[in-house]
Structure 1
Amino acid sequence: MAKSTTFTLRMSQEDYDLLSSLAAIFNQSIAELAREIMGEGIRERLDPAAIDRRIEKERARLKQAAIEIRDRVERSATADVGAVADREPVAQTANTDSGEGSAEED
């Protein structure tokens, strides 16, 4: 017989109630059904096809997030350009370092 280990699993009361009801439907103990579900979940997580599906789902999520961020940045940049264009022109002052271009004459 394979060696087994006991551990405690914290879960919400709602999940426990669902597990308990499902175990009753299948005429299994809660522990037996939990072991079965965990075993299936572990094998699913290790399945190459399931891994590929999770990778593709994550790739799509990241691409969508990048599109949304780029759109937000572009809208922000467009709004900034519009705000600058709406401002009144600033009067330019002459360069007074060399004394040339000064509005005052001697």
Structure 2
Amino acid sequence: AVIVTVPLGVLKASSIAFNPPLPPRKQSAIDRLGFGTLNKVLLLFPYSFWEAVEGRRDFWGVCSPSAHRRGEAFQFWNMERCTGMPMLLALHSGRMAHREGSATR
């Protein structure tokens, strides 16, 4: 027996030939699975201004309620307790992440 761990895109592209072939149930599960873009950005600040505004929170976020901006989601994690530095981890997913990923610099 062998354990294989590869990205979903590799499995979907059938880049690996399994012998014997994967059972239909497993191949069907691979075909049905989807994935998207998630951008992660670490933001380092001179001080943690967010605690004065938000109080002692570790996580907050926004999902757009309007239909024309659906798929734009923003999440922020307070990383100060983990790192000892005034740092936020920003996560952007959906259309916004795709737009950021394809932007030219």
Band of TM-score, shorter chain = under 0.3
**Higher alpha-carbon Rg:** 1
Q: TM-score, normalised by structure 2?
A: 0.24
TM-score, structure 1 length as denominator? 0.23
Structure of greater relative contact order (alpha carbons < 8 Å, 6+ residues apart):
2
Higher strand share: 2
